[in-house]
Chains A and B, each alone.
Chain A
Amino acid sequence: MAAPTWIRLPRATLILLLLALHLSLSVAAQFEGFDSDELPHATAADLASPDDDEEGLDLDVDLPAPPPISVSVSVSAPSPPVTTTTAANPNLNPTTPPNPTPSLDFWDEDEFEGIPVPEAPSSDASSTPAEFTPSDPSAADAAEAAPAPPRSPAELLRAFSIEIACVSFLICFLLNYFTGKKQNEAIALAWATKFATRDSIFDKNFSLLGTGDGKDTPLLLKEGQDVFKFYASGRRFCQGMLATMEMRARHDLLSKLLELVFPRKDTITFEVVMNEESMDHVMVAVARKKAAKTMQKEERDLQRFASVLPLAPAGKKWVADELAVVAESKEVAGDMISEAVLDQVLGEKAFEKLGKWFISLHFSDQLAGSYKKVLSFKFVLPDANNMAEMTKLVALVPFYIDLIGRYKLSSHARSKTDAARTKAAQEAFRELQGVRQETLLRKKAEKKKLMEEAEAKLSAEVLRKKEEKERNRQMKKGAPKVKMLRS
């Protein structure tokens, strides 16, 4: 369910964040304790880990008077080198290194830690932020010297360049999200206003519009910021029609940048599911030449039944030169691409004007998928102000529903298409049978295995009894039947 995941996730993030923070703090704390123990053994180690020393020192400085003594005791041995290297600004350094260990025996220099040079710890404290700046990879001394003068804005800018760049990109992303979302919605609404509201073409053709009960529900279904769906149902010859608008990802800044290299267009795809009895053996696809070839190779039904028609059927006007027709039978293709269609959309003259909005048509009664008899139209969606330009294309949808709904193949064409279909149907049936047999065999084998296991588990006694029973039964079967005569 959605609800529990929602509740669980913020808690999970919170817990993880807390864990991460705790871990990081504990690790930091560990390092503090660590140096204090390790330092006496190697003076080289001090120079290597100046940060940790400072943190140890900070701890000392922050606490009130009594604790420092106790802390310094635990820190005892390492501290002299600690105080010498870190408390030292370059001036002090040359003087103190000469006597690291001997001081241990006589007095505890730590006791004087907090007192001498309070500037030293504070300068160390101020140097710690310097450690964090990414532009300061050099040794501790340089780091200490740098923060002394106030940091100019230019330096800060350079120091936090990554953060500034990323945060500003995120802000731009957020702004673009809202503007892009509005733009996409405007286009979808413009389309719906033109073609799906009262007295529009779809209202006149379908009784149920929208995805709800059609009374109060909105017409469009939004599936993501760039995908909108429009559903209509209740017409003769078809079960329903789904129009899917897939737009450019205007709401996503990264996709927009990618589109500079790979341009995309807003598209709308109409899918009409025809009734079983309303569609005869029609398999036709029309698209631009390259797209048609790809379709013929990729779509399973076209691959199996249809081929690209190289020439127009004799003597007829045909589609514009840019387009290619993929069909099973020339005759059916000719009937589908009627005069009216050629005049309005697909012919030479009409295509000059409407060509930029047309992508493809695909009618099939053997589609691979959940629905077999589907008409599919793919057009480019014009922008919000020019919706009227695709009126003729949208009008193709109800036109073809009726044309195909009423169409019956001639006997000549039918004989050809029938042969191919029956072969395909037989193959499908055989495959189904094969699968069914396989499952049956598998089940039988499993049952046998189970029975054998059960038998093996039974004790010897029970087995003997069973065998006796079996033998008796066999004998009864074999023995001659004795009929009792009543005399």
Chain B
Amino acid sequence: MKEATTSGGPSAGANDPRQPTTARPYAPPKLSSQDLPVDYAGFLAVVFGVVGVMMHYKVCSWIAIIFCAQSLANMKNFENDLKQLSMAFMFAVMGLVTNYFGPPRPGSAKR
């Protein structure tokens, strides 16, 4: 097997490749907020939330809630993503509240 043939194969004592003295602790790479991958779910949640509030479409507000849930599930960097997510969530909730508890609008807007 490979371990036997290569000289790097670890065996007790002389050929041990480990070097405890050179061990470095883990340093997580620093990412600026621009480098983060685009959070499509959060962006779509904001878009649908705004559309739901402006146009009084219930469907859009519900879809915004679903995208908020997806963004929450995929959240990696806790602090950075939470801002956009909370904004999207508030828009979506506002849309739902105005649609269900607000003044009923006559005509086609009421669905």
Residues of A near any B CB (own CB < 8 A):
2, 5, 9, 12-13, 16-17, 20-21, 24-25, 27-28, 31, 48-49, 51, 131-132, 134, 137, 162-163, 166, 169-170, 173-174, 177, 204-208, 210-214, 221, 223-225, 227, 231, 233-236, 239-240, 242, 249, 251-255, 340, 344, 370, 392, 395, 398-399, 401-403
- Complex interface: chain B residues within 8 A of A224 (CB): 74-76
- B17 touching A398 by the CB < 8 A rule? yes
Interface string of B22-61 (1 = CB under 8 A from A): 1111100100000000000100000000000000001100
- B23 touching A233 by the CB < 8 A rule? yes
Contact flag A233-B107 (CB < 8 Å), given A2-B78, A24-B97, A223-B76: no
- Complex interface: chain B residues within 8 A of A235 (CB): 17-19, 22
Contact flag A401-B101 (CB < 8 Å), given A2-B79, A166-B62: no
Q: How far is the CB of A353 from chain B (nearest CB, A)?
A: 15
A210 nearest CB neighbor, chain B only = B26
- B104 touching A213 by the CB < 8 A rule? no
Q: How far is the CB of B15 from chain A (nearest CB, A)?
A: 10
A370 to B110, CA, bound (A): 56
- B103 touching A24 by the CB < 8 A rule? yes
Secondary structure dominating the interface of B: helix
Contact flag A48-B106 (CB < 8 Å), given A21-B101, A205-B18: yes
Which residue among B20, B65, B67, B89 has the maximum number of chain A CB atoms within 10 Å of its CB? B20
Which residue among A2, A49, A344, A398 has the maximum number of chain B CB atoms within 10 Å of its CB? A398
B85 nearest CB neighbor, chain A only = A9
- A234 touching B65 by the CB < 8 A rule? no
A338 nearest CB neighbor, chain B only = B6
Per a CB cutoff under 8 Å, which of A2, A27, A233, A340 touches B25?
A233
A-B contact count (CB 8 A): 159
Secondary structure dominating the interface of A: helix
Q: How far is the CB of B31 from chain A (nearest CB, A)?
A: 11
- B19 touching A252 by the CB < 8 A rule? no
Instruction: Tell me the residues in window 68-103 of chain B with beta carbons closer than 8 Å to chain A beta carbons.
Output: 69-70, 73-76, 78-79, 82-83, 86, 89-90, 93-94, 97-98, 100-103
A132 nearest CB neighbor, chain B only = B104
A173 to B2, CA, bound (A): 46
- Complex interface: chain A residues within 8 A of B78 (CB): 2
Q: How far is the CB of B51 from chain A (nearest CB, A)?
A: 15
- B86 touching A13 by the CB < 8 A rule? yes
Which residue among A221, A392, A402 has the maximum number of chain B CB atoms within 10 Å of its CB? A402
- A252 touching B66 by the CB < 8 A rule? no
Q: How far is the CB of A64 from chain B (nearest CB, A)?
A: 26
Per a CB cutoff under 8 Å, which of A17, A206, A233, A401 touches B8?
A401
Per a CB cutoff under 8 Å, which of B65, B106, B111 touches A49?
B106
- B76 touching A20 by the CB < 8 A rule? no
Which residue among A25, A134, A399 has the maximum number of chain B CB atoms within 10 Å of its CB? A399
- Complex interface: chain B residues within 8 A of A134 (CB): 58, 110-111
- A344 touching B2 by the CB < 8 A rule? yes
- B7 touching A402 by the CB < 8 A rule? yes
Per a CB cutoff under 8 Å, which of A13, A24, A208 touches B101?
A24
Since A24-B98, A398-B10 are in contact, a sample of 9 more A-B pairs with Cβ atoms closer than 8 Å, ordered by chain A residue number, is A20-B94, A132-B100, A206-B18, A207-B18, A208-B23, A210-B26, A224-B74, A236-B19, A239-B24
- A234 touching B103 by the CB < 8 A rule? no
- Complex interface: chain B residues within 8 A of A132 (CB): 100, 104
- A395 touching B22 by the CB < 8 A rule? no
